[in-house]
């Protein structure tokens, strides 16, 4: 339904969306040129005013509650150069402003001024391929209709129905029965079963890294405050077992918080080898107290089979003599603890290094390192690198600094990084032209043959 100024493709590259091009005029000033002849669902034209008003809303007190408001905190001013060109001035250099712009959803300015933001929760109006026909409050299925005037109008579909089905097996059964054409977020254990049904399978490696984060700040007396202990715990983990048994070979073992397609991923940083004997030797050398439990708190059900992954971690650590207390907590409790660093007696907790917002390694480091509000871990040696990365405008130099940061963090071992997983979508055999993007299927390109 909505479009943003830019989008990021599955290779992690910034691409045009509502903005056709952009350039850094100075370290503090960016010029964005907008796509011509773009219509909103209500007939308004996309102009510089729409972008200016959308950013101004996010910077307002009312807009500050939205998660994307953080993306405009560094914006000092937005001015119109001409009806299709804007200049964005920042408070400090922002080398990834075009990446941030993939989170800047643009609203029609007249409707926003007349009706306020609440209107868009009930009657959304954007520039996208489809417009809302029915939320499906009674039917349980949201109905969308093609918007022929869209700059990316659907090529073959005039109607889109979205069903909410919580379980993967339910989605697979809906595919088998012909109730749906496409099932998103298929769990890996059902992929081979879907293949046996001659369904079409689509996959992409996610820009996230699953792991277990160590909590040191506020927990300085814990054994995990010792870098050598954290390294030993990494050596104890059989990542190949997780890749092959849990993900059926459709995952990549990780040794850093940036997946391969993320800007700043360091290809020279290898996953920690599986070496339990060496891990035990390290623990013996540092005088590790094997009677003291290591408390790990996990939220499960976030991704397929994550409970089994954490059980493997606990088993691996116990095999080198570590007394692991592994407990599952509700996600709401996990989120509150993560936000406030209030983990009670926890030494570690489940966490995904999620770089999907920017496809840039600085994203995850921002909320897992020294500069997170209420941090749980801080390696002082990373601060100068982080600060340099934030303002480095040369893309190649900045990428090198990010890769340096990934190398430093690997040795510091703030976490047990596990794997970058694969996301799956299944479709019936009558579906064609399925293109996956980081936001999901590009439904405006899809076609369906008559059954």
143 vs 132: CA distance, rounded Å: 6
Other Cβ atoms less than 10 A from the Cβ of 229: the count is 22
Strand order in the sheet with 324-328: 252-253, 415-420, 208-214, 348-354, 294-298, 324-328
Residue 86 to residue 34: CA distance in whole angstroms: 8
- Burial (CB count within 10 angstroms: exposed 0-12, middle 13-18, buried 19+), residue 345: exposed
- The separation between CA 282 and the C-alpha centre of its own chain, rounded to angstroms, equals 35
Q: Which of 143, 89, 133, 128 is nearest to 437 (CA)?
A: 128
Strands 6-8, 182-183: pairing kind: unpaired
The token pair at 198 is 């001659």
pLDDT digit string, tens, across residues 61-73: 988 888 788 899 9
Number of H helices, E strands in the chain: 14, 22
Asked whether the CA dihedral 112, 113, 117, 119 is positive or negative, the reply is negative
Which string of DSSP letters, residue by residue, matches 84-117?
TEEEEEESS--TTHHHHGGG-B---HHHHHHH-T
In terms of DSSP H, where are the helices of 31-189? 48-59, 97-100, 109-115, 118-122, 168-177
Q: State the Cα–Cα distance between residues 81 and 66, nearest whole angstrom.
A: 28
Contact 165, 174 (CB under 8 A): yes
Strand, helix or coil at 296? strand
For domain 208-420, the CATH superfamily is: Dipeptide-binding Protein; Domain 3 (3.10.105.10)
CATH topology of domain 6-122: Dipeptide-binding Protein; domain 1 (3.90.76)
Strand partners for 447: 432
Rounded to two decimals, the pTM is 0.84
Contact 213, 310 (CB under 8 A): no
CB-count burial class (<10 Å; 0-12, 13-18, 19+) for 307: middle
Predicted local confidence at residue 451, as pLDDT: 63
Give kind and range of the element (H or E) at residue 442: none
Nearest alpha carbon to residue 321 among 354, 274, 288, 370: 288
**What was the pLDDT predicted at 419?**
93
Tell me how far apart the alpha carbons of residues 136 and 153 are, in angstroms, rounded to a whole number. 23
Bridge partner residues of 168 (DSSP)? none
Tokens of 107: 């609203």
DSSP H/E element including 220: none
Query: Residues, the chain, total?
Result: 451
**pLDDT of the residue at 439:** 83
Distance CA 352, CA 346 (A): 17
Distance of CA 362 to the CA centre of its chain: 12
276 Cβ partners below 8 Å, 6+ apart?
235, 236, 316, 319, 320
Can you give the residue ranges of every domain in the chain? 6-122, 130-205+423-448, 208-420
Judging by beta carbons within 10 Å of its beta carbon (0-12, 13-18, 19+), is residue 408 exposed, middle or buried? middle
Q: Give the right CATH number for 130-205+423-448 from 3.30.70.380, 3.40.50.980, 3.40.190.10, 3.30.70.890.
A: 3.40.190.10
For the record, the structure tokens of 269 come out as: 């940083």
Task: Specify the pairing of strand 294-298 against strand 324-328.
Answer: parallel
How is residue 296 written in tokens? 């790990």
First to last CA, the chain: 27
Determine the angle formed by the axes of helices 227-235 and 276-285, rounding to 10 degrees: 160
**Residues of the chain predicted below pLDDT 70:** 195, 301-304, 451
Q: What per-residue string of b and e applies to 174-186 under the rule 16 or more CB within 10 Å gives b?
A: bbeeeebbbbbeb
Instruction: Report the distance separating Cα 69 and Cα 163, nearest Å.
Output: 29
DSSP 413: -
Q: What are phi and psi of 447, to 5 degrees?
A: -130, 155
């Amino acid at each position: 339904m909505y479009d943003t100024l830019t989008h990021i493709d599955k290779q992690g590259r910034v691409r045009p969306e509502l903005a056709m091009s952009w350039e850094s005029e100075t370290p503090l000033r960016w010029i964005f040129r907008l796509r011509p002849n773009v219509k909103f669902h209500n007939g308004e034209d996309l102009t510089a005013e729409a972008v200016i008003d959308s950013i101004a809303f996010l910077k307002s007190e009312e807009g500050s509650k939205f998660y994307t408001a953080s993306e405009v905190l560094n914006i000092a001013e937005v001015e119109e150069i001409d009806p299709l060109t804007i200049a964005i001035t920042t408070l400090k250099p922002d080398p990834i402003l075009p990446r941030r712009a993939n989170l800047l959803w643009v609203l029609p300015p007249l409707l926003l001024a007349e009706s306020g933001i609440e209107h868009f929760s009930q009657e959304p109006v954007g520039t996208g391929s489809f417009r809302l026909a029915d939320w499906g409050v009674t039917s349980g299925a949201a109905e969308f209709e093609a918007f022929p005037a869209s700059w990316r109008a659907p090529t073959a579909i005039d109607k889109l129905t979205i069903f909410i089905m919580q379980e993967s097996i339910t989605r697979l059964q809906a595919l088998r029965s012909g109730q749906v054409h496409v099932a998103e977020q298929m769990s890996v254990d059902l992929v081979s079963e879907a293949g046996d049904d001659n369904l079409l399978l689509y996959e992409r490696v996610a820009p996230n890294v699953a792991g277990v984060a160590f909590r040191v700040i506020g927990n300085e007396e814990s054994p995990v405050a010792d870098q050598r202990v954290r390294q030993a715990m990494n050596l104890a983990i059989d990542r190949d077992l997780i890749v092959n048994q849990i993900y059926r070979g459709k995952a990549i073992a990780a040794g850093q918080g940036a997946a391969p397609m993320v800007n700043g991923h360091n290809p020279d940083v290898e996953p920690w080898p599986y070496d339990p004997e060496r891990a035990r030797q390290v623990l013996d050398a540092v005088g590790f107290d094997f009677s003291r439990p290591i408390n790990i708190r996990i939220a499960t059900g976030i991704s397929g089979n994550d409970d089994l992954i954490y059980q493997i971690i606990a088993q691996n650590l116990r095999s080198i003599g570590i007394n692991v207390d592994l407990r599952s907590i509700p996600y709401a409790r996990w989120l509150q603890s993560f936000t406030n660093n209030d983990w009670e007696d926890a030494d570690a907790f489940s966490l995904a290094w999620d770089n999907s917002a920017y496809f840039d390694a600085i994203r995850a480091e921002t909320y897992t390192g020294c500069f997170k509000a209420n941090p749980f871990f801080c390696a002082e040696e990373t601060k100068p690198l982080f600060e340099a990365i934030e303002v480095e405008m040369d893309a190649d130099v900045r990428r090198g600094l990010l890769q340096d940061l990934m190398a430093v963090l690997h040795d510091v071992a703030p976490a047990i990084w596990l794997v970058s997983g694969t996301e799956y979508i299944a479709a019936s055999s009558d579906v064609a032209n399925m293109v996956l993007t980081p936001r999901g299927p590009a439904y405006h390109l899809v076609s369906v043959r008559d059954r």
